[in-house]
Structure 1
Amino acid sequence: MDRLTLQASLSFVLLIAAYLCLYYVIGKRTRFSRYSITVLFVASGTPLAIMLALDSQREQMDANIGLGMSFLLTWAITGLIFLLSLILGFIRLKRR
């Protein structure tokens, strides 16, 4: 397993974990919240998936700025979702 595959797998696992944390922190688990979190997950994972697919087709061994930016975007979204779920969890605990 090469380094890019390991980083991509870890990025997607952390993104899934972030959205699962957000889903379980939200108080009302309605059908709308389930669908909206699913759509947001797909929308935030798509740039990395597309850039990984395009990078696998490339034959050149040079730096791919777009791939790095898509990793950075995915990590930033993951961090923001974890932070949002942490804040919502603290607010929920404070109200109890």
Structure 2
Amino acid sequence: MNRLLILTIASEVFLLLSFLIIFLSTRRTKKSIFLIPLLIVGGSPLLYLAVDHMNSHYVDANIGLGLAFMFTWIYSAIAFVVAIVLMVKRKRKNNI
């Protein structure tokens, strides 16, 4: 399997996992619907540039692809930190 494909899938799974934890730690209200556009905003640049890189073979380095990976990883890390904070906050609220 291509290394780029493995990294892309792992990055998108980590992003999806972060948003899934956020969704499960919040109450299922109409505000949870706003998580879907945030997930799309976080994952679409990487998917677009990874598919573009696989279809067209560039001679030089694809800086945009590296920036898309960095954006997705930072976005995933921020979402994961928010998910952990929400989970801890919910757990403390349930214990009191």
The normalised TM-score by structure 1 is 0.89
Q: Give the letter for the 1:23 counterpart.
A: F
Match for residue 64 of structure 2 among 63, 66, 71:
66
Deviation string 1:43-82 (CA, Å, 9 cap, x unpaired) is 1111111111221232223211110010010011111111
Q: 1:91, 1:17 → 2: CA distance?
A: 19
Tell me what 1:5 maps to.
5
1:20 corresponds to 2:27: no
Q: 2:15, 2:41 → 1: CA distance?
A: 11
The alpha-carbon deviation at position 94 of structure 1 amounts to 2.0
Kindly, what percent of the aligned residue pairs are identical?
Answer: 29
Q: Give the ranges of 4+ consecutive aligned residues of structure 1 lying more than 3 Å apart after TM superposition.
A: none
Gaps of 5+ in 2: none
Q: 1:51, 1:63 → 2: CA distance?
A: 13
- SS of the residue corresponding to residue 63 of structure 1 reads coil
The alpha-carbon deviation at position 31 of structure 1 amounts to 3.3
The alpha-carbon deviation at position 92 of structure 1 amounts to 1.8
